[in-house]
Amino acid sequence: MQALSGGTCFRGTAGCPPLYIDAVDLLRDPSLLRVLEELGVDPGALLGYGGEACVFAYGHEQIIRIHHAEADGAAVEARSALLGELRPHHGQLPFAIPHVCELRVIAERFVTFEPRLHGRTLARALREVRGTGRRELLLSTLEASRALSRLPLTRPWFGDLCRVPPIRTPSWKEYLRRRARTSLAAAGDAFAGVDLEALCVPFEEPATPGFVHLDLYAGNVLVDGSSVTAVLDFGGVPVFGDPDFDPLTVAVYLRGEMTADTVESDHALCHEWLEQAGLAERLDAAERWVAAMWSFAVDDAKVQSWCRRVLLAR
């Protein structure tokens, strides 16, 4: 989600349209403007936009998430159902996560009404905070990624929670293989030489499978002071699988092209935390698999550049 106050524009989800060029382009969308008119929302209330939806303030306490015209209703409903399943367990987390108060169809667009969560994006904070405060923010984000595993979710399979159609398999490694294969195939010939088996070899079956957000980049994390206040989105890529992937992906998304305004000391801090958690030896492998997962985003030049660097420069 592109946060207008400073988030990083970061790809869409497979099957959704390319990101709008900018907010001006977005606000030329006739059906979107009809939704705003019916709800009495000023276009200036735009908070952010991405590959699945755009988000507007709706009063002081709510937001409306207007899904793109091409959105699959089953995927929108799957996200709403997942958030409904998780809602009774919000108290187990030291930060907020979304829930859907209402799902409506307005001007042939799926619109969800959700609470407005407090904080600014980690992406914006990283442009401004230095020293001890910066270290505390990164550590809080890593701890938040680990806390998500407390959500008591169970499934009889490994795989997609919200994608339509989903990939679901009897083993975690088989899910990783099939998801990477599907994304790389969607990317065309550019990644034809990537070894699928090598991508998945480093990963074992999790002892305790659970919820995996899988998209904890800096624009999906809200912070205030030195702490995470909310984790956003929960659409498109969450899976039931190995919860170790969330702290690994935090470190992956803070590397290189994926998040602006990071420095070497940020990466060293993440690596130190992962070492203490016993995860550091899987970081490079996780980066390669995550790059394969996002390789389908052919309309995002920044993501494609990163995918090529990670997957083809060896």
Mean pLDDT of 174-195: 95
Report CA torsion sign: 39, 42, 47, 53.
positive
Residues 141, 7 share a domain: no
d(CA 67, CA 32): 9
Element (H, E) at 224: strand 221-224
Q: How confident is the model at residue 198 (pLDDT cuts 50, 70, 90)?
A: very high
Residues 238 and 135 in one domain: yes
**Range from 19-23, 105-109, 198-202 carrying the lowest mean pLDDT:** 19-23
Last residue of a domain, one of 115, 139, 168: 115
Q: Are residues 147 and 107 in the same domain?
A: no
Distance CA 35, CA 64 (A): 10
CATH code for the domain in which residue 92 is found: 3.30.200.20
Model confidence at 51, in pLDDT bands (50, 70, 90)? Answer: confident
The reply to whether the predicted model has a pTM over 0.95 is: no
pLDDT of residue 62: 97
Percent of the chain with pLDDT over 90: 80
37 and 169 in a single domain? The answer is no
For residue 16, pLDDT over 70 is answered with no
The domain tally of the chain equals 2
Does residue 308 register a pLDDT over 80?
A: yes
Q: What is the CATH number of the domain that holds 270?
A: 3.90.1200.10
Looking at residue 197, its pLDDT comes to 93
Maximum C-alpha span of the chain? 53
Confidence label for 297 from pLDDT (cuts 50, 70 and 90): confident
Q: What confidence category does residue 262 fall into, taking pLDDT thresholds of 50, 70 and 90?
A: very high
How does the average pLDDT of the chain come out, rounded?
Answer: 90
Indicate the pLDDT class of residue 18, thresholds 50, 70 and 90.
very low
> In terms of domains, do 252 and 107 share one?
no
| Phi, psi (rounded to 5 degrees) for 284 | -65, -40
CA distances from 265 to 6, 35, 138, 254, 313 (A): 21, 45, 11, 11, 24
Separation of alpha carbons 295 and 285, rounded Å = 15
Whether 55 and 170 map to the same domain: the answer is no
Contacts of 271 (CB under 8 A, 6+ apart): 251, 280, 283
Q: Is residue 124 located within the same domain as residue 98?
A: no
Interval 276-298 mean pLDDT: 95
Assess whether 91 and 130 both reside in one domain: no
Q: How many angstroms separate the CA atoms of 269 and 284, rounded?
A: 16
Residue range 33-48, pLDDT digits in tens: 999 999 999 999 998 8
Average pLDDT over every residue of 225-241: 94
Among residues 85, 115, 145, which one ends one of the domains?
115
Q: How far is CA 148 from the centre of its chain?
A: 13
State the Cα torsion 58-96-129-257 to the nearest 10°. Answer: -90
Burial class of residue 166 (count of CB atoms within 10 Å of its CB; 0-12, 13-18, 19+) = middle
| Alpha carbon 247 to its chain's center | 13
Are residues 132 and 89 part of one domain? no
Can you read off the two tokens belonging to residue 231?
A: 């984790």
Question: Is there a single domain that holds both residue 94 and residue 174?
Answer: no
3-class secondary-structure state, position 203: coil
State the pLDDT at residue 4.
44
The Cα 24–Cα 16 span in angstroms is 19
- Flag whether pLDDT at 170 surpasses 80: yes
CA dihedral 185, 155, 277, 176 (to 10 degrees): -10
Q: Does 215 lie in the same domain as 125?
A: yes
Q: Which of 14-18, 108-112, 136-140, 230-234 is predicted with the least confidence, judged by mean pLDDT?
A: 14-18
* Domain span holding position 222: 120-312
| Higher pLDDT, residue 290 or 25 | 290
Cβ neighbors of 279 (< 8 A, separation 6 or more) are 244, 247, 248
Same domain membership, residue 109 and residue 150: no
Cβ neighbors of 135 (< 8 A, separation 6 or more) are 269
Last residue in a domain, options 64, 81, 115: 115
Contact 58, 39 (CB under 8 A): yes
Residue entry with tokens 């009809």: 34
Say whether pLDDT at 78 is over 60.
yes
pLDDT-derived band at 14, boundaries 50, 70, 90: very low
